[in-house]
Structure 1
Amino acid sequence: MKGSRNSLTSLRIFLVAARTLNFSMTGELMHLTQSAVSKHVAALEKHLGTPLFERTSNGLKLSHAGMRYRDHIQQAIRLIDEADILVSNPSSRIALNIAVSPSFAQSCLIPALKDFFSSHPEVKVNIRPRLPKEDRSTERFDAEIQLNTGHARGMSATYLCGREMALVVAPELIADSPPRLPEDLDHMVLLKRAQPGYGWEEWKSAMAPGWAGPSPSSPEYEGFSILLPAVLNGLGAAIFPLCLVKDHLQSGRLVRPFGESVSGRYGYYLLEPRPQSPNPYIAALCNWIREYSKSLNTAPEQR
């Protein structure tokens, strides 16, 4: 392999081995013997002059050079595959894979995607609902949109929306006795989100430091995608990022009794792997997301 470019076959074998960390399993997936896989990897390592894998008591792991090589080769192989598809089948669409917080996907991204497709009909976007702490060791996405504080290892983070939060409730729940002060909430069911961020403690430190807050036994809901239907159906009041409930406030399905906007630590961020992909379609989608997010940060009009 010296003096020539690494063969596509060897590079594809390396990528599978980097994912499985098992040469026997790689051979099964590539319909090769373990010995053949080892020879392809050894040829790559000889050409590069550095080991791509390290053997430990627990099995194989990628070396630092192997991780860097994987990230770059993965992007290069994908571009080659996309070029093959576009030339051999001009009517095909480029597929992008993004991991998105379920609540953001449901309330913000999906309702607006038609605008992106009108400008890029050649692109297909596969949306995978994922939470920030879910295991990504067997998955790799072109981009992610997650609740975050702006720090993600190995990724660049662009703030989109969500730092501004407020107490929201269905109007029929307070029609007879609208709360004027935080203390008036003691007579209401107050719902909690069972994940970090947008907690009652953060809200009341800005709005009512002396108020006791919700009872420890208040109902908890796992994520905004479940909490939002509960609030819309009058099961109680809760704290939400304004960008998630903007449409519901404008339609009158939800109201902000105090009309407040409290700044919090968390927000929705666009996360892009480093190094960034040279893929123009990924760049187009990420640029569209950044531009679209500006509309999510405008103050919602409440009926």
Structure 2
Amino acid sequence: MDFRFGVVGESVRTAGDLLSTARRAEELDYATLTLRDHLIPDGFGDQLAPMVALTAAAAATTRLRVGTLVLANDYRHPAFVAKEAATLDAVSGGRFELGLGAGWLREEYERAGLPFDPARVRVDRLEESLRIVTSLLDGEKTTFAGEHYRVDGLTVHPVPPRRPPLLVGAGSRRMLGLAGRYADIAGVLPRALPNGTISDELTERLPDTIARKVGWVREAAEAAGGRDVELSMLVYPAFGPDPRRAAAKVAVLRGWGASSAGLVLDMPSQFVGPPEHIAEQMAARRERFGFSYYLVSDADMEAFAPVVALLNGR
């Protein structure tokens, strides 16, 4: 697949931030602006409600796609997710991408008074939700009776002329399998831990681990009829004239130690050095792993723009 690039609005706090970021992302030829879905600051500060904010971003731009990265399934019934997705797709002129995940941030659940069920239960719910949402957005009259959700002869209005692309963010084998079976885009992540955090283990980011995760997506996609699934990853590039020195800095900042610089250089999710070098890395890793859709924080949007110019659509 051709390269495309997105921005995650991690530092967007106000309407002004939102609109200026969206317009600037479009000027720099990014494909998408995405927003997270959190009720508490987490590691990125307070967040705007994604569906409402993305509607405003779409209205302020003409080409930029907008998307969720990702909605936590447990926070909304799938019928309402489908209704809002269909509406946002319509008002944006078909520029919406729906990202869904199982939810992982225990502290957020607890502070909102929501039960933080074991991962198995949360993933069960997500799978049921994916079945309902895809059926509704495909324009089908949907009846479904599962353990967690029931709908009876439900339809959605407006019916999208083409179902909005669906992204599933996934780090575990089962979640990556769901992405392969249901999603148009698999957002490959480090695995979520039972304590309600995301793993910071170095091994989660090494080439063999990422290759194994990509393999799980492809295996599930093949079993589901040979589906084509775009592979995506959120990355935090480190710029500098010397890739090894930039890698050593990343290793120290992440707590892995300067001796891990060589491992950082090989991480599929880590890009270091000048823009031309990063572009070469991305082309090589697309060949090896298949990743073609990369997202960066809005804090890196300007610095990463030369990479977008080198690779966009190639």
Which TM-score applies when normalising by structure 1?
Answer: 0.24
The structure with more radius of gyration: 1
1 or 2 for the larger relative contact order (CA 8 Å, sep ≥6)? Answer: 1
